Amino acid sequence: MNATDSISLDDDNAIVVLGIGNVLWADEGFGVRCVEALQSRYEFAPNVRLIDGGTQGLYLIQHVQAARRLLIFDAIDYGLAPGTLKVIENEDVPRFMGAKKMSLHQTGFQEVLMLALLTESYPEQVVLIGCQPEELEDYGGSLRPSVKHALEAALTLGIERLQAWQGAPQPRRVPLAPNEAVTLPSLALEHYEGGRPDAETACRVGDDRFLARVPS
Amino acid sequence: MTAYATQGFNLDNSGRRIVVDPVTRIEGHMRCEVNVDKDNIIRNAVSTGTMWRGLEVILKGRDPRDAWAFVERICGVCTGCHALTSVRAVEDALGIRIPKNAHLIREIMAKTLQEHDHAVHFYHLHALDWVDVVSALKADPKKTSELQQTVSPSHPLSSPGYFRDIQNRLKKFVESGQLGPFMNGYWGNKAYVLPPEVNLMAVTHYLEALDLQKEWVKVHTIFGGKNPHPNYLVGGVPCAINIDKDGAAGAPVNMERLNFVKARIDEMIEFNNNVYVPDVLAIGTLYKQAGWLYGGGLSATNVMDYGTYEKVAYDPSTNQLPGGAILNGNWDEILPVDPRDPEQVQEFVTHSWYKYADESKGLHPWDGVTEPNYVLGDKLKGTSTNIQEIDESAKYSWIKSPRWRGHAMEVGPLARYILGYAHALKGNKYCQRVKEQVESSAQAINSGIPKALGIPETTYTAKQLLPTTIGRTLARALEAQYCAEMMLEDWKELVENIKNGDSSSANVEKWDPATWPKEAKGVGTVAAPRGALGHWIRIKDGRIENYQCVVPTTWNGSPRDPKGQIGAFEASLMNTPMANPEQPVEILRTLHSFDPCLACSTHVMSPDGVELTTVKVR
């Protein structure tokens, strides 16, 4: 597999694994961290492409269009207990990615799915593995323990799905070379967490998107 | 009620208040409130950045060579520009000069991003402010085909059957109830003036653009290793060059890959010439004919850019979009802009939710402070957790107010085009293409298109045409066209340089922090799609001591400053009449002409604060 090369994405049988979210906003990074962990631990068949989608929204359209089967990892506000995983499939996915109170880039992603439909390049199968976040309002922060714990179970679910799709996941025999990583070594979980400035140096007050919270 | 005059505008907040409140995590974190008079003309405008961007502080203590990876995540659409600005700031601080190949590759990447971002912005995010999708369903495909052949005779996709197919696909889509990207439009609003055929043509091109853009971003994959988050490198570019190697994935850049890039550049040039620029000119002509010349705001007086696209690396006098500042609409005088001068770029926080020791003064970014201070004015309506009307006489935005020598400035493609045109008129040989583009556009809008469509000709000058909402949208299209053309030159130069035996792509002499001075400071600037972008860095003992970004939306979306001067978003809305204040098509159209990043879900509130509907701010 060569995950870094999307030039040869035009594969009729492509399986796209997409991690969505912003690693800088604590549990918002769930999706990207899943893809990072998947790639560092497993190898896959050549038709499997792993994508660190970040918050690219519309710019992810070609990856969705290219997919025959699409597996999405994301932090989703289902209103459940933090760290709860929920798997959504096929026609239910757009609805779940567009409802209110979702992590906010989702609205953009629902639109991406609709555009793929309009352009008649919609994946045959779409599976969303979503995790209920615990904390989003911690800029520069990382996954909370509940979500980090759920990540392991999410990977298991993802691997099961990729097996069923004949993506041939198997534990990595040779460690991933840094230039092969779809995520960045300097943003890798350990490095990211270890290099965080302390709260004294760097204010951690979250986003006040809704002008709803007074920073303490 | 308060009323006062500033920058040629009379602000008066006594009329009905309209609140448009997008809420989003990723981009364009803004809310907008306006007051309209009895004739529904906007007489006061208040733009609020509703998101705290604390990027600067989370970088403290990190390795400067990693900063680009963090800033790439600030925002979903400006990834590459922030990364490039960051590596430039670090290189500037450490005195690193990049090799020629790296310069050319970065130019190609930056211009690809510009082309991609501009085209995607217009077709996917902005066109629906001009184009009524539902009206497109009523178009006659045969007439649409004739129209296509009139406005762009060389475009091959123009048969009646082609348009009929697209129309049917669209019908099916709309009828299935899955409006998707077309959800929540104000379809049928009188603010839409285009005939159904123009609407169908534009929607069709939306789909064509969608198809092409996915090929274009592969340029980033070739040079940056991957998409959507390409790699950058302090000292050069992270790709090896070996022209004779075969093209195994992950292998060095070779001739096959370079030819792939060339094919994409050719495709961009063709798309701009046959589709993008003609569409914007046609839509612009028809809106101008309908009397829609609003939205100029600050662009009519004050514009600024740092200058970009050096023909010769490290020689800003060869900038193909030269920088500078223009004040008071005096296009004959271009003032030099120096991002290092502590007296020039300064950020104020009198109306921003930050704290300075002395808020009557601005701070240069090298000495910038980002300390949040969320307090609300006593004239606020609602509560701090549910604001109905913001109090603009107090602090009201998470965006600081950058000023150039104390003046509020507009930045962006329009600012760059006004500057480029002014430089070209003064004889600058590096930007004559800008003058040609502006003049041929004026000719097309005044007479070429009116003649072809059988409507009256007009006599607008460039100075009347450019500082408008339409001019802002046109400048973006022209910049895309120019970027693709420049890129072809960059590509030829790159291939020639490589063929001459230079395969160097990075300068790693100062990669090791042991080679760095104990303390250093630098600045990097980039002409980002949305405007002048600058990062200022201070490095101490090999680590980031202070990092400040002044982004285009900080300039354009800035709140008032100590003198009460309004920012570019605010100014652009002034004196615009609204067809129906409860459907803020005109507000969205003008705000979107600045390309304020990406999809934002918005709530439109009625004057009494009741939520009316949810719309998309595109």
Token pair, residue B104, equals 């050319």
pLDDT at A31 over 70: yes
Token pair, residue B195, equals 């005939």
- Tell me how many residue pairs between chain A and chain B have CB atoms under 8 A apart: 199
Mean pLDDT of B205-231: 87
Among B50, B75, B180, beta carbon nearest to A117 = B180
CB pair distance less than 8 Å for A184 and B214: no
CB pair distance less than 8 Å for A118 and B169: yes
Q: Which of B557, B15, B84 is nearest to B306 (CA)?
A: B84
Collect all residues of chain B within an 8 Å Cβ-Cβ radius of residue A5: 221, 226, 249-250
pLDDT at B159 over 90: yes
pLDDT at B180 over 70: no
Pick the range with the lowest mean pLDDT from A175-179, B440-444, B492-496, B568-572: A175-179
Task: Choose the most confident range, by mean pLDDT, from A17-26, B167-176, B554-563.
Answer: B554-563
Q: What gap in Å lies between CA B329 and CA B301, rounded to an integer?
A: 4
pLDDT in tens, B299-319: 999 999 999 999 999 999 999
Q: What gap in Å lies between CA B200 and CA B82, rounded to an integer?
A: 36
Note the CATH number of domain A15-194: 3.40.50.1450
Q: How confident is the model at residue B30 (pLDDT cuts 50, 70, 90)?
A: low
Collect all residues of chain B within an 8 Å Cβ-Cβ radius of residue A117: 173, 178, 180
CB pair distance less than 8 Å for A104 and B24: yes
How far does the CA of residue A155 sit from the closest CA of chain B (Å)? Answer: 22
pLDDT in tens, B78-102: 678 899 999 999 999 999 999 999 9
Beta bridge partners of A17: A50, A71
The residues spanned by each domain of chain A are 15-194
pTM reported for the whole predicted model: 0.89
Q: In chain A, positions 41-100, which contact chain B (CB-CB < 8 Å)?
A: 51-62, 65
pLDDT at A10 over 80: no
Q: Is A138 on the interface with B (CB under 8 A)?
A: no
| Averaged pLDDT score across all residues of chain B | 88
Query: Which phi and psi (to 5°) does residue B383 adopt?
Result: -120, 170
Among A105, A115, A180, beta carbon nearest to B181 = A115
User: How remote is the C-alpha of A66 from its chain's centroid?
Assistant: 17
| Interacting residues of B545 by C-beta distance below 8 A, sequence separation 6+ | B60, B519, B538, B539
pLDDT in tens, A53-111: 887 777 888 899 999 999 999 988 778 899 999 999 988 887 766 533 333 344 467 77
Q: Is A156 on the interface with B (CB under 8 A)?
A: no
CB pair distance less than 8 Å for A54 and B229: yes
- pLDDT in the model for residue B181: 58
Q: What gap in Å lies between CA A113 and CA A120, rounded to an integer?
A: 11
Contact B304, B409 (CB under 8 A): yes
Sequential DSSP letters for B390-421: --TTS--BSS-EEEETTB--B-SHHHHHHHHH
pLDDT at A139 over 80: no
pLDDT at B437 over 60: yes
Nearest CA in chain A to B67: A186
- pLDDT in the model for residue B603: 24
Q: What gap in Å lies between CA B426 and CA B428, rounded to an integer?
A: 6
Mean pLDDT of B370-380: 85
How far does the CA of residue B454 sit from the closest CA of chain A (Å)? Answer: 34
pLDDT in tens, B184-204: 567 778 888 899 999 999 999
| Averaged pLDDT score across all residues of chain A | 80
- pLDDT in the model for residue B250: 55
pLDDT at B263 over 80: yes
Q: Which of A25, A23, A44 is nearest to A166 (CA)?
A: A44
pLDDT at B279 over 50: yes
pLDDT in tens, B53-74: 566 777 888 999 999 988 887 6
Q: What gap in Å lies between CA B89 and CA B107, rounded to an integer?
A: 16
Q: What percentage of chain B exceeds 70 in pLDDT? A: 90
Q: In chain A, positions 110-129, which contact chain B (CB-CB < 8 Å)?
A: 110-111, 113-115, 117-120
How far does the CA of residue A43 sit from the closest CA of chain B (Å)? Answer: 16
Collect all residues of chain A within an 8 Å Cβ-Cβ radius of residue B218: 6-7
Contact B27, B557 (CB under 8 A): no
Question: Which residue intervals of A30-188 are DSSP H helices?
Answer: 30-41, 61-66, 92-96, 106-118, 145-164
pLDDT at B611 over 50: no
Pick the range with the lowest mean pLDDT from A74-88, B385-399, B437-451, B597-611: B597-611
To test the contact with chain A by mutation, choose from B112, B210, B257, B261 the residue with the greatest count of A C-beta atoms within 10 A, namely: B210
pLDDT at B606 over 80: no
CB pair distance less than 8 Å for B24 and A184: no
